[in-house]
Amino acid sequence: MADTTRITVTLPSDQVAELRKLTDNVSGYVAEAVARQLRHQLLGVDLLRHQEEHGEFADEELAEARARIFGAADSGGSASAA
């Protein structure tokens, strides 16, 4: 089991009520959400660093990434999903 640290987090009451409807393990749910957010932020840092070293991504590279993430079907070529 991973080391853990007990902390206190203050959330709006309505969010706590919804959390309790979704799970009996609020700590686990919050830990997963925090891990997902950390991965998202670290990925953003890595992507920015890559662009600083190699230049901005070409349209073809972005299209390939979207296809790998969302499937080969293109939704009209909009850039809003990435």
Tokens for 22?
């979704």
Contact 29, 22 (CB under 8 A): yes
> Does the predicted TM-score (pTM) go above 0.85?
no
Q: If you average pLDDT over residues 14-29, what whole number do you get?
A: 96
Instruction: Judge residue 13's burial from the number of C-beta atoms within 10 Å of its C-beta, 0-12 exposed, 13-18 middle, 19 or more buried.
Output: exposed
pLDDT above 90 (res 79): no
pLDDT above 60 (res 77): no
pLDDT above 90 (res 2): no
pLDDT at 82: 44
Q: If you average pLDDT over residues 53-81, what whole number do you get?
A: 80
Q: Report CA-CA distances (Å) from 4 to 11, 40, 60.
A: 20, 22, 43
